[in-house]
Amino acid sequence: MINLLILFVINFEGRMLHRYMLAKASLFVITFVILVLLAFSTIGIVYANEVYEEQWSQTFGGIEEDGFRSVGVCSDGGYILAGYTESQGAGMRDGWVVKLDSEGNEQWSKTFGGTEHDELWSVGVCSDGGFILAGSTKSQGLGGSDGWVVKLDASGTEQWSKTFGTPSWDGFYSIDICLDGGYILAGYTRFSGGAGGNDGWVVKLDSAGNEQWNKTFGGSDFDDFYSVGVDLDGSYIFAGRTKSQSEGVEDGWVVKLDSEGNEQLNKTFGGTEPDEFKSVGVCSDGGYILVGYTESQVTYSAGWVVKLDASGAYQWSKTFGGESGGGFRSVCVLQDGYLLAGDIVNAKRDGWIVKIDEGGTEQWSQTFGGTENYHIWSVSEFSDAYILAGQNGRMVAEPGSGDGWAVKLESTTLTETTTITTISITTTPSRMPAPQLLTTIICLMILTYATTRLKRV
């Protein structure tokens, strides 16, 4: 009997020891898994603190007013800048094109125009390595000003130049390259055959610059298109402002046309105060991202972003920087969201970029400035870098003295051992992303449960 009791005790203690060892092993495995999960969670947090460090900043120009309106990325890794100059050229103001290498060094600079007021607003990089430019000219054409298109080869030599318009006032603000190799232009026209003061104006050209069709849109007041994008199906999306269809002073305006110029969509967005769209981008989900400014939703003007789906239905809207004034002029569609560029008022105007995710949540922002005003007119992406173009040095009510300005930014991930030195740049990193926070909570719950089970053993 005693022997049986001893055997029972030994067997019981063996089973308890076995359970204890299994529990300890389970706790070890759980702890290891938790550490792996938290490691990936930490990686996510580090990624959220990614910022873009200034690689170079260059100014170009003379003693008069000069500025860049548009920038493109070239096939050789360099950059093409388009705008206007009053410091050089043949007339009062000339169209101006500057080619940079990847380090921001000038490779060539050209002016185009006559004795009057001419400027370039938009540039596109063509498949042949050359460039297509759009703007307005008073030096040539039929009237007060005409829409103006210039084609250059890769070295900046003019291949052709054409004007389009009426005896009144006309101009192009934006150009894009079509799927058929031609060009689509957006701007304004004011003539007696139109519906109002200004009409939104669209012109389609073939690859040689010959007009294929020409359309106007608008009402009895002033309406303008500031930006055009080419959709994946060959259709066109236009963004601008309308006073003719506005609920208030003026509204943001979106029009979509098929490849033949037939209207598919016409919508306005805004409130009782001035609201405008300055740029449009075509999104990977088939929808559209629109940026500009609004005064209807804030005390001062604010940067404004509106997301539409592929049918033009409203999805969401966000405002940024409405405390003292600001707005966006350009948008770049990224793989993981959007980069917005413009100005913000901090006693003076500073260049301003904001990175948002696909849902419109701010991830980070940076400002650029000095003792004078800085303006960003255009942004483009290349690999892990951004190129910004605009103007610096001109105060709001001061004529002249502005320079064309270009900045290159490259991504840098903030870690404990990383030191970033930037001048006049402020960064606002995002909070811990929701997936990483959820992972941390789940891990802590698992660890607590495992420890409780071990104590019971």
**What pLDDT is stored for residue 294 in this prediction?**
96
Mean pLDDT by 10 residues, the chain (457 residues): 42 46 45 42 39 90 95 96 96 96 97 96 97 97 92 98 94 98 96 72 98 95 97 97 92 97 97 96 97 92 97 97 90 97 91 97 93 94 93 62 93 50 36 44 50 48
User: pLDDT tens-digit profile of 9-47?
Assistant: 345 444 443 444 444 444 444 444 444 444 443 333 233
**What pLDDT is stored for residue 239 in this prediction?**
98
> Hey, which residues does 120 pair with through a beta bridge?
135
**CA dist., res. 60 & res. 100, Å (int):** 11
Distances (CA, A) of 233 to 28, 217, 258, 356, 453: 56, 22, 9, 26, 60
User: pLDDT tens-digit profile of 425-437?
Assistant: 333 343 334 444 4
b/e per residue, 175-203, with b = 16+ CB within 10 A?
bbbbeeebbbbbbbbbbeebebbbbbbbb
**What pLDDT is stored for residue 254 in this prediction?**
98
Whether residue 156 contacts residue 210, with contact meaning beta carbons closer than 8 Å, is answered with: no
**What pLDDT is stored for residue 386 in this prediction?**
97
Q: Which residue has the tokens 């934006």?
A: 174
Distances (CA, A) of 298 to 246, 330, 343: 18, 20, 16
Question: CA nearest 188: which of 221, 152, 158?
Answer: 221
Q: For the chain, what are the domain ranges?
A: 2-45+437-456
**What pLDDT is stored for residue 370 in this prediction?**
82
User: pLDDT tens-digit profile of 192-215?
Assistant: 555 568 999 999 999 999 999 999
**What pLDDT is stored for residue 428 in this prediction?**
38
